[in-house]
Each structure stands twice: as C-alpha cells, then as structure tokens.
C-alpha cells in the first residue's frame, strides 16, 4: 500500500525528502507486516501499524490543509486513512 504512495510522492515532487520518507514508510510497513504474521508479535504489529498510519494521516492531512494542493498530499492521505482502517479492523478482530 505504501509502495504506491512512495511511487506517487517521488514522481510528483522528485525530492530527496520524498524518497527518504517513502523508503522509511515502506520499511516501517514491511516491519509491521512481518510482526503481524506471528501470533505472539501480532499485538506489537497492530500497535505499530496503527501508530504509524495515524502519524502518516496526520502529516498528510496537515500538509493538505497547509499547501491547499491536492497532489500528492490528497492521495497519500487517502492511502494512509485506508491503512488506518485496516489496522483498527485487525485490532478489533484480535480482541
């Protein structure tokens, strides 16, 4: 999911900050994915996924409001909110 946001951010802005942020987000989401695979580390994966998705949603929401430019903040906000819903749903199913 964040691979799409990574590609979108880098192609739209071409900045090194977008490249670094996209790689960091992709690495974080990959870590969350692997943590959620084992039952004993699933709660940690859920918490890390929820926290990072909430952080991404906040950052992209603030950026969208501050710049008033839909691209790339709008689609990235949408992807982050979708990820947030996925992690909330996963947490509720595990509870």
> What are the pLDDT digits (tens) for 51-85?
999 999 999 999 999 998 887 788 889 999 999 99
Q: 2-6, 49-53, 66-70, 88-92: which has the minimum mean pLDDT?
A: 2-6
DSSP for 52-76, please give it. Answer: HHHHHHHHHHHHHHHH---TTHHHH
Q: What percentage of the chain exceeds 70 in pLDDT?
A: 84
Integer CA distances (angstroms), 75 to 38, 39, 45, in order: 31, 32, 24
Q: How many CA atoms lie within 13 A of 59 on its CB side?
A: 13
> What are the pLDDT digits (tens) for 11-57?
666 677 777 877 888 899 999 999 999 999 999 999 999 999 999 99
């Amino acid at each position: 999911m964040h691979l799409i946001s990574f590609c979108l951010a880098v192609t739209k802005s071409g900045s090194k900050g977008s490249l670094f942020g996209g790689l960091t987000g992709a690495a974080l989401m990959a870590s969350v994915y692997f943590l959620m695979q084992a039952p004993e580390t699933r709660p940690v994966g859920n918490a890390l996924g929820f926290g990072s998705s909430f952080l991404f949603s906040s950052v992209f929401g603030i950026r969208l409001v501050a710049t008033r430019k839909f691209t790339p903040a709008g689609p990235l906000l949408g992807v982050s909110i979708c990820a947030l819903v996925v992690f909330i749903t996963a947490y509720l199913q595990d509870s």
